Amino acid sequence: MRILGIDPGYGITGFGLIEAERGQSRLLHCGAITTPAGMDFSARLEIIYEDMRQLLETTKPDAVAIEELFFGQNVTTGIGVAQSRGVILLAIRQAGLEVTAYKPMQVKQSVVGYGNATKHQVQDMTKRLLKLQKLPKPDDAADAIAIALCHARSSTSLLAQAQNGGKL
């Protein structure tokens, strides 16, 4: 199964494509969609949407996983990320794909085994699980890979199999 993980943002949207088979995963491609800081916000959203459409078309994932929004101290930034996430979800839907959202704590629990793991712990474990020589850059791409790994582990669990009538 080819899984595209997405870490949404409006300055940087990270993505990571993995292939997961029988409990083993390997990294196929990762990177980021970026937009210039001084650009009109609606133009930034258009870039994110168009680049996401192209990414989905070229990578042809079987599944897409995205991080759920977490509003911390800066609500203004959160609103911009929410708008970016909206155009990403639209591109995914128009591509005819289903998307699964994961809370940051779920990703940490799945990848590290501890829901309050640090960003560094998640990235280090991602590197180990995929047997990578170095951490993927930018950090947003590494986060997206962790989201894809979370989906790989969640979608192949016994509970997921039971909910899908024994099929993956």
Is position 68 annotated as part of the catalytic site? Answer: no
CATH number of residue 82's parent domain:
3.30.420.10
Answer yes or no: is 168 within a domain. no
0.85 surpassed by pTM:
yes
55 or 135, higher pLDDT: 55
Q: Out of 50, 62, 67, 98, which one is annotated catalytic?
A: 67
How many other CB atoms are there within 10 angstroms of residue 73's CB atom?
Answer: 6
Is position 124 annotated as part of the catalytic site? Answer: no
Look up the domain containing 8 and give its range: 2-163
Close Cβ partners of 92 (under 8 Å, ≥ 6 residues apart): 52, 56, 64, 66, 99
Above 80 in pLDDT, residue 156? no
Answer yes or no: is 133 within a domain. yes
How many other CB atoms are there within 10 angstroms of residue 163's CB atom?
Answer: 10
Tens digits of residue pLDDT in 128-150:
999 999 988 999 999 999 999 99
Answer yes or no: is 154 within a domain. yes
